[in-house]
Amino acid sequence: MANSDSVSNGTASTRPDLGDIKTLEQFILEQQDRFPHSTGAFSRLLRDISLAAKIVNRDMRKAGLIDIYGSTGETNVQGEVQQKMDALAHREFVLALRRGGECCLIGSEEHAEAIPLDTSSEGDGKYIVLLDPLDGSSNIDVCVSVGTIFSIYRLPDEYDEDEPDLDAALQPGTEQIAAGYVVYGSSTMMVYTTGNGVNGFTLDTSIGEFLLSHPDLTTPKTGRIFSINAGYYHSFEDGLCDYLDWLQEYDENDPNRPAKTRYIGSFVSDFHRNLLKGGIYMYPATQSSPEGKLRLMYEANPMAWIAEQAGGRATDGHTRIMEKSPTKLHQRTPLFIGSEDMVRRAEAFLQGDPDRVAAGE
């Protein structure tokens, strides 16, 4: 069959013949053979996460028919109204990880405390999984794309895998061994990294498999998209306001200005678009939320690693996200993430030095 051109990472590329397309499981096993540190337990853990994602995708596609739209009437640990799909996604991921036996500790946006799992009679149980089971869930009622974000760490040697405690999960993002997200939209994609680049897999619902559709993803060095809730403009610090004004100024020598605003309100969806097309996503501190609102451990850290592995950058405006030392499971942080040049420029404005050369530092 003849090859055809497609766009996978912002530039034209050659789409492989169907016979050459790998399933997620085939790809994971191939990587396991290529890298000696990979284990069968780790491969099974990724399989468990993909299985839960398929179940969440299935239920979301019929949400309006089985009464899982709307809220549960309860609030989660974040003080946010919990949606029915939040609860369902949390349950499915916990069940999948519990059954698999490779995970000994789960941290979830939907649960106040870390969840220890009994691994004494199951698998190796040496991995910690932190996740946002359903990012952007308030958008489900209006059919807007939402997603799952996950981050995987090894259990430190000094902790007992049968009785791990919360401190075992409080590791900086530099210690991640895998990170990824699933976006549930016009198609369902799983994108992840283990530190050797970024790869994307699209769910073929006819066979129930994630297929490698976006190999070796890279993000453009700069872009023309900025994603931010500009309704809070007057609550932003001056440096950020100046950066937003700069982005929207016309410059005949810069084809990326004025930049375009694209903001969905679902972090996974905004990040995924900017990863492919080039852009910057910003969720800054405000007067009412001086620490920001995104969670460091299961939102900012995993996305930061994906961005960096794809050639991008992630910061809180002053510090590399993955170098921040966590002190609590649900710790919040400001986040500026995306194309390297755009993030560097944002940092320059935030640090009061907008005239410095941002690129190539």
Show binding-site residues for Mg(2+). 109, 132, 134-135, 299
Distance of alpha carbon 69 from alpha carbon 82, whole angstroms: 11
The one-letter amino acid at 211: L
Distance of alpha carbon 220 from alpha carbon 275, whole angstroms: 8
Which tokens go with 131? 């996740």
Query: Would you list which residues are annotated within the binding site?
Result: 109, 132, 134-138, 229, 263, 293, 299
List beta partners, residue 127: 103, 154
The one-letter amino acid at 28: I
265, 266, 271, 273 alpha-carbon torsion, rounded to 10°: -80
Q: Which residues contact 350 (CB under 8 A, 6 or more apart)?
A: 237, 239, 240, 243, 317, 318, 336
> Which letter, b or e, does each residue of 155-169 get, where b requires 16 or more Cβ atoms within 10 Å of its Cβ?
beeebebeebeeebb
Q: Which residues contact 206 (CB under 8 A, 6 or more apart)?
A: none
- In the block, residue with structure tokens 């994603």: 227
- In the block, residue with structure tokens 């055809």: 4
Q: What are phi and psi of 112, to 5 degrees?
A: -65, -40
Helix (H, G, I), strand (E, B) or coil at 87: helix
Q: Which residues contact 157 (CB under 8 A, 6 or more apart)?
A: none
Query: Would you list which residues are annotated within the binding site for substrate?
Result: 135-138, 229, 263, 293
DSSP conformation letters of 50-79: HHHHHHHHHHHHTTTTTT--SEEEEE-TTS
DSSP conformation letters of 178-232: EEEEEEESSSEEEEEESSS-EEEEEEETTTTEEEEEETT----SS-SEEE--GGG
